[in-house]
Structure 1
Amino acid sequence: MDQMYTPFKGEHDFAYGYGWIIQDTPFGKLVAHSGGIPGFASILLRFIDSGCSVHVLSNIMQDVSEIGKNLAAIVHEQNR
């Protein structure tokens, strides 16, 4: 797990490690993965420090990352 969540800088503009986008956020370390095919989209956000996970599934092709971030903010604010 440590290797999987260890970022390295490649050809991306973000930290990436074994399939996960890795970021520091106001809610702690975030590892995320998104995907989709025509007609579907998804994102998985795992906040390692708080133990919170957010999954967003959509049956239309759209960017669901903002929905996921907004849901994470709600959860983290409720747990303060």
Structure 2
Amino acid sequence: MYFNDDTDVLINLAGIKDPELLHQAEEDITNLAMTNIYNQQYEKFNTETLKDIHRIIFGQIYDWAGEFRSIKAKRAA
């Protein structure tokens, strides 16, 4: 499961459960991480490259960054 049981917020390494705070953390962290992407020299652009880019961008926020995941949509109440 990727969401906190008591919120619709993704489980994250900082333990943030407030959606606005998580959004701000994502914005701050990913903004800095993008510099690493721009400096990378990728020989191929394939699935592994995409996973690596995702890990670099989101790895400080989510432990599943850089991995494929599957989620089921929540049913409307």
What TM-score does the superposition give when structure 2 sets the normalisation length? 0.27
- Considering fraction of residues, name the structure with more strand: 1
Q: For CA contacts below 8 A with separation 6 or more, give which structure has more relative contact order.
A: 2
Pair member with larger Rg = 2
What TM-score does the superposition give when structure 1 sets the normalisation length? 0.26
- Considering fraction of residues, name the structure with more helix: 2
